[in-house]
Chains A and B, each alone.
Chain A
Amino acid sequence: MASAQTHRLSNGGLVDRSAPLNFRFDGKAFSGFQGDTLASALIANGVKLVGRSFKYHRPRGILTSGSEEPNALVELRTGARREPNTKATTAELYDGLEAASQNRWPSLRHDVMSVNQLFAPIFVAGFYYKTFMWPAKFWEAIYEPAIRRAAGLGRAAGVADPDHYDKAWAHCDVLIAGSGPAGLAAALAAGRSGARVILCEEDFTLGGRLLSDGGTIDGLPAAAWLSKTLDELAAMPDVRITTRTTLFGVYDGGTYGAIERVSDHLPSPPEHQVRQRLWRIVAKRCVVAAGAIERPIVFAGNDTPGVMMASAMRTYVARYAATPAKRIALFTNNEDGWRTVETALGAGLQIAAVIDARPEVSPAHRSLASKGGFPVLHGSVSGVDGGKDGVRKIAVSLTGGSRAEVEADGLAVSGGWNPAVGLTSFHRGRPKWSDDISAFVPDGAPPGMVAVGAANGDFGLGACLSQGFAAGATAAHDTGHNDKAGIAPVADDEAFSLAPLWHVAGKGKAFVDYQHDVTASDIELAQREGFESVEHLKRYTTLGMATDQGKTSNVAGLAIMAAVSGRSIPETGTTIYRPPYVPVAIGAFAGHHRDETFHATRLTPSHHWAVEQGAIFVDTGLWKRAQWYPRAGEKDWLESVTREVKAVRSGVGFCDVSTLGKIDVHGPDAGAFLDRVYINTFSSLAVDKARYGLMLREDGIVYDDGTTSRLAEDHYFLTTTTAKAGLVMQHLEFCRQVLFPELDVQLTSVSDQWAQFSIAGPKTRDLLREIVDPAEDLSNEGFPFMGAREVALRGGLKARLFRISFSGEMAFEISVPARFGDAMARNLMLAGAPFGVTPYGTEALGVMRVEKGHIAGPELSGTTTAADLGLGKMMSTKKDYIGRVMAGREALVAPDRQVVVGIKPVDKARRLRSGAHIIPKGQTPGPGNDQGYVTSVCFSPTLDQWIGLALVERGRERIGEIVHAHDPLRGEDYDVELCNPVFYDPDGGRQRG
């Protein structure tokens, strides 16, 4: 049975008492209402202790009522959805919510690690730089694990996130951050003018501080004005308002990042709905109405549960009808703090005292005090007596030197307000100091952005409305909309006076950064040890580096540093502000790009047929390629691949090679263009002929290779490797558009337009004759090696036929429009059945290319020259081409370069592995005598042993030499013989036959 809401007011607030919600915190059952946050519901149940601090494991309560919360972090949900470091102050209550406190053992109330407080002297700023210096090997083994266990925040779920995340784009004229009075006024002005408006509010309810502080606008109570304004905005079709959405960053070109918590307020996302959505919003103008953050005053015991920001205290009372304390003391240095007194008295709570650091208090407040029967003490809070059960007594240093004590169970603190300068500063802008409000205010903003109202340092309700409205009207005007904003809403400005106060001297720990347990004395220590620069201060003490990014702590930290180093606050300066403004889940950045949808998947035209054949697939880039086709009874891949190779070498087989990049090169200058991008000549290639081509990078290193055919005088068909298809297209477009714009040539990517199959083996012609129109001459004379032309198939379909061979066998490649690819594969199987046709995969393809000594990806490694690959003779001396001059550099033509050579194990039964280093025989392996490495290996069914290719220093001059293969990764050492890389049919008779 859930315990009663002992600290809930019987009426008022924005919670729905007709909708009770049950939840559990640390296993204990509670109830709250619709409209609660976890924090407000805990407060309504009288819970003060909600967590343990990061380093010292001190008991902590709820400090704020918003996303700036440093203390009240919980693990929300359970199992795979468990999310650590969730702010109780923004987590919406739902029925069945389960939350647990963090960083405590065995329980929140009895935390063993709170002994850390006794060792506090060694946990000061920079402690691990000093304490765990020696011995060095202890760091990883003992110190770091121990520290990580002792200090820390929540635990990650440890299993895959079951939810989906979305990424979306939005475009608008005017983007508005915040739905307080300034943001709503901006939306009114921009919306009435006809601009496309997006307003993002991080809360689940619109209204900002109006929800807690009320006020009178246009003569109406705030709530009435709010409802009328939201109605007007809802009627505007081009105004889009999103709640639960935080604008967290601004990027170049008016692009903004926002995180929408679509389903975080539900136990789990509804079916087909996402958990969160990452918005990228492109906006011509942005009005930042993100408000301000009330700042704590640093005094001893200021982290005791029950010490709360004054604005948060009145938010809990006014908005949530929950009472953090029955007898409240207020410690303020400014006028605004007094509003909490008014709210508390209005709710029938007792005020113990107001401790005001200013010399004067307004007559109105004096009379409020006498009416409420509480004293106004001029001075400061110097200590808090209390513990995990909350505040008991407050020690006050009175102006003049005497002391006083106040009995209270809650202490509201207001040290003034810091405008939320994050968004305006994210382009390395530094805010400027304003003496008027003793705070940093925006000093300019990224292009198109303007801050208004409290975010701009103007806290009055009237100023928020007028500034927001004016900014909205200007933004609409600037984006080409009519000036029909009408009349701005009007309200009075509240009085504002503040006496700067950052730190009250006293006995005990006084916290600046609650979340990282950084105290005032840590800052003083950092200054004494020379870390005066704010950037050093931050890193040495970790001030502002926790998940809250110092929203409540940074300015106080700077002010204390300024005081101890004898500088002003503006002289001390701020650290650089960087997005994101609030933590954003990595899952949201990833969106749907995870698991099988991490990237797009490309399927070859014969993919579905290959699936039916039971093919094993391999990922090559985005492609799924058939790697081999296992048959019943085969015990491993090697057996399947060996069978496929033997079938091709003795009969006929086919392989889908559609993944190769294919580019149509058209135009009268097509040949001249290819001459400039390939090292060899293509303008001289006869029509109906194919030629192997090699292209270099401009630095002389080999870029890519492939066969290019001339299909007509002004039409070439170029192929690239699978890996480089996109990059070669980009490179060729650069050559065409930038380097050689005078050439009349056009490039068209046709990679996806053609299905291409390699058909190889001595019975290739027999198979082809079954599918090609009998009128086509496929004889060696009618279709010689390296021929390429269009042919008619039986049935009339036109195909392109290329007599090229990668396997060393008599082979053709046949190309049909991609939509016929599946039918072609099935047809080859049918027509080839009498000849024992065998489909083969990329493994068999690779085996046959190694047997034939052809280079591929492992040899085209981005470090090899044409000569290294044994293709130096292809480099034309009669023309200019990309990479020609640089390829002639001394080091690239040095005689001792590592060049491609074949290798065979001396022990014929030994398996080779790529990656092994080549060392001269009889020498001890080391960097000094490393002469190269093994690039490609395979088991050759034809030679019945393992063979390989290697890059070896002067390899071609050393054929026959026995060298040593050293494989430290696998712990293998063995001798190999350097040999001719063409293991199979070296004179090429088979492919020409």
Chain B
Amino acid sequence: MRIVCPFCGERELGEFTYLGDAKPVRPVAGASEDEVFDYVYLRDNVAGATSEYWYHGGGCRAWLKVSRNTLTHEISAVEPAAGAGAAKVGA
């Protein structure tokens, strides 16, 4: 498997670490235990298009949002996480 890192170009799987589903959003401070529980534990078992977090630890250390089809392993898009690189969101 190969992932096209937006910073480094196409690289081999061994440079990356998989985290998991990129869909859950961390609840804001003050969220209820149930909301946080859902965020921490509940995941869809998707057969098809998913969005996942991958870490380019063997390269630029960017966290990437990878759109991958779990049935074909085809990767349709790779984008950097909001805070990857030097730019600050909203700066």
**A495, B62: Cα distance in complex, Å:** 60
Is A132 an interface residue when CB atoms closer than 8 A count as contact?
Answer: no
**A282, B12: Cα distance in complex, Å:** 9
Q: Which B59-91 residues have a C-beta within 8 angstroms of A?
A: 61-63, 73-75, 80-84, 86, 88-91
**A889, B75: Cα distance in complex, Å:** 38
B57 CB to nearest chain A CB (Å): 6
Contact at A886–B36, with CB atoms within 8 Å? yes
Contact at A737–B84, with CB atoms within 8 Å? yes
B49 CB to nearest chain A CB (Å): 16
Instruction: Knowing A741-B82, A888-B33, A889-B33 are in contact, say whether A733-B1 is a contact too (CB < 8 A).
Output: no
Instruction: Knowing A282-B2, A880-B30, A886-B37 are in contact, say whether A737-B81 is a contact too (CB < 8 A).
Output: yes
**A395, B44: Cα distance in complex, Å:** 64
Is A105 an interface residue when CB atoms closer than 8 A count as contact?
Answer: no
Is B31 an interface residue when CB atoms closer than 8 A count as contact?
Answer: yes
**A736, B81: Cα distance in complex, Å:** 10
Contact at A737–B2, with CB atoms within 8 Å? no
**A280, B91: Cα distance in complex, Å:** 43
Q: Residues of B contacting A734 with CB < 8 Å?
A: 19, 53, 55, 63
Closest to A667 in B: B88
Contact at B40–A738, with CB atoms within 8 Å? no
Contact at A730–B1, with CB atoms within 8 Å? no
Q: Which B3-37 residues have a C-beta within 8 angstroms of A?
A: 12-13, 17, 19, 26-27, 29-33, 36-37
Contact at A252–B73, with CB atoms within 8 Å? yes
A236 CB to nearest chain B CB (Å): 25
Q: Residues of B contacting A744 with CB < 8 Å?
A: 88, 91
**A887, B44: Cα distance in complex, Å:** 24
Contact at A733–B2, with CB atoms within 8 Å? no
**A252, B71: Cα distance in complex, Å:** 12
Instruction: Knowing A253-B2, A282-B2 are in contact, say whether A741-B55 is a contact too (CB < 8 A).
Output: no
Q: Residues of A contacting B84 with CB < 8 Å?
A: 737
Contact at A737–B62, with CB atoms within 8 Å? yes
**A698, B37: Cα distance in complex, Å:** 10
Closest to B87 in A: A741
A131 CB to nearest chain B CB (Å): 42
Closest to A888 in B: B33
Q: Residues of A contacting B73 with CB < 8 Å?
A: 252-253
Instruction: Knowing A738-B53, A741-B83, A880-B30 are in contact, say whether A886-B89 is a contact too (CB < 8 A).
Output: no
Q: Residues of A contacting B82 with CB < 8 Å?
A: 737-738, 741
Closest to B55 in A: A730
Q: Residues of B contacting A726 with CB < 8 Å?
A: 57
Contact partner of A885 (CB less than 8 A), chosen from B36, B41, B83, B86, is: B36
Closest to B75 in A: A253
Is A742 an interface residue when CB atoms closer than 8 A count as contact?
Answer: yes
Is A699 an interface residue when CB atoms closer than 8 A count as contact?
Answer: yes
Contact at A737–B83, with CB atoms within 8 Å? yes
Interface of B is mostly: loop
**A741, B2: Cα distance in complex, Å:** 26
B84 CB to nearest chain A CB (Å): 5
B39 CB to nearest chain A CB (Å): 8
**A730, B55: Cα distance in complex, Å:** 8
B62 CB to nearest chain A CB (Å): 7
Q: Residues of A contacting B57 with CB < 8 Å?
A: 726, 730
Is A251 an interface residue when CB atoms closer than 8 A count as contact?
Answer: yes
B9 CB to nearest chain A CB (Å): 12
Is A740 an interface residue when CB atoms closer than 8 A count as contact?
Answer: yes
Q: Which A727-759 residues have a C-beta within 8 angstroms of B?
A: 729-730, 733-734, 736-744, 746
Contact at B88–A733, with CB atoms within 8 Å? no
Contact partner of A738 (CB less than 8 A), chosen from B30, B36, B37, B83, is: B83
Contact at A741–B33, with CB atoms within 8 Å? no
Closest to B71 in A: A428
Contact at B1–A255, with CB atoms within 8 Å? yes
Contact at A741–B86, with CB atoms within 8 Å? no
Contact at A255–B63, with CB atoms within 8 Å? no
Contact at B1–A252, with CB atoms within 8 Å? yes
Is A254 an interface residue when CB atoms closer than 8 A count as contact?
Answer: yes
B24 CB to nearest chain A CB (Å): 10
Closest to B26 in A: A739
Q: Residues of B contacting A255 with CB < 8 Å?
A: 1-2, 12
A725 CB to nearest chain B CB (Å): 12
Q: Residues of B contacting A738 with CB < 8 Å?
A: 53, 63, 81-83
**A886, B41: Cα distance in complex, Å:** 11
Q: Which A868-909 residues have a C-beta within 8 angstroms of B?
A: 879-880, 885-886, 888-889
Q: Residues of A contacting B17 with CB < 8 Å?
A: 730
A430 CB to nearest chain B CB (Å): 15
Closest to A700 in B: B40
1/0 contact string of B42-61 vs chain A (CB within 8 Å): 00000000000101010001
**A889, B17: Cα distance in complex, Å:** 29
**A738, B39: Cα distance in complex, Å:** 14
Contact at A885–B61, with CB atoms within 8 Å? no
Contact at B89–A699, with CB atoms within 8 Å? no
Q: Residues of A contacting B88 with CB < 8 Å?
A: 741-744
Q: Residues of A contacting B27 with CB < 8 Å?
A: 885
Contact at B40–A886, with CB atoms within 8 Å? yes
Contact at A251–B30, with CB atoms within 8 Å? no
B60 CB to nearest chain A CB (Å): 10
Q: Which A504-523 residues have a C-beta within 8 angstroms of B?
A: none
Contact partner of A733 (CB less than 8 A), chosen from B36, B37, B61, B75, is: B61
Q: Residues of B contacting A280 with CB < 8 Å?
A: 12
**A742, B62: Cα distance in complex, Å:** 16
**A741, B88: Cα distance in complex, Å:** 7
Q: Residues of B contacting A733 with CB < 8 Å?
A: 55, 61, 63
Instruction: Knowing A730-B17, A737-B63, A738-B81 are in contact, say whether A746-B37 is a contact too (CB < 8 A).
Output: no
Contact partner of B40 (CB less than 8 A), chosen from A699, A730, A739, A746, is: A699
Chain B CB within 10 Å — which of A726, A736, A746 has the most? A736
Q: Residues of B contacting A254 with CB < 8 Å?
A: 2
A280 CB to nearest chain B CB (Å): 8
A847 CB to nearest chain B CB (Å): 35
Q: Residues of B contacting A447 with CB < 8 Å?
A: 74
**A885, B31: Cα distance in complex, Å:** 8
Q: Residues of A contacting B63 with CB < 8 Å?
A: 733-734, 737-738
Q: Residues of A contacting B41 with CB < 8 Å?
A: 699
Contact partner of B86 (CB less than 8 A), chosen from A253, A698, A746, A886, is: A746
Closest to A746 in B: B86
Closest to B27 in A: A885
Chain A CB within 10 Å — which of B1, B61, B90 has the most? B61
A736 CB to nearest chain B CB (Å): 6
Q: Residues of A contacting B37 with CB < 8 Å?
A: 886
**A431, B77: Cα distance in complex, Å:** 30
Q: Residues of A contacting B19 with CB < 8 Å?
A: 734
Q: Which A235-268 residues have a C-beta within 8 angstroms of B?
A: 251-255
**A729, B60: Cα distance in complex, Å:** 13
Chain A CB within 10 Å — which of B31, B53, B88 has the most? B88
A226 CB to nearest chain B CB (Å): 36
**A282, B83: Cα distance in complex, Å:** 31
**A737, B7: Cα distance in complex, Å:** 14
Contact partner of B90 (CB less than 8 A), chosen from A252, A698, A742, A880, is: A742
**A169, B55: Cα distance in complex, Å:** 22
B residues near A, CB below 8 A? 1-2, 12-13, 17, 19, 26-27, 29-33, 36-37, 39-41, 53, 55, 57, 61-63, 73-75, 80-84, 86, 88-91
Q: Which 10 A-B pairs have the closest CB atoms?
A: A741-B83, A880-B29, A253-B2, A741-B82, A737-B83, A252-B1, A885-B36, A737-B81, A741-B89, A737-B63
Please give 16 more A-B residue pairs, beta carbons under 8 A apart, in addition to A251-B1, A744-B91: A253-B1, A253-B73, A255-B2, A447-B74, A698-B39, A736-B83, A737-B63, A738-B63, A740-B83, A741-B81, A741-B89, A742-B88, A742-B89, A743-B83, A744-B88, A886-B40
Instruction: Write 18 A-B pairs (CB below 8 A) sorted by A numbering.
Output: A252-B2, A253-B2, A255-B2, A698-B26, A726-B57, A730-B17, A730-B55, A734-B63, A737-B62, A737-B83, A742-B83, A742-B88, A743-B88, A880-B29, A885-B33, A886-B33, A886-B37, A889-B33
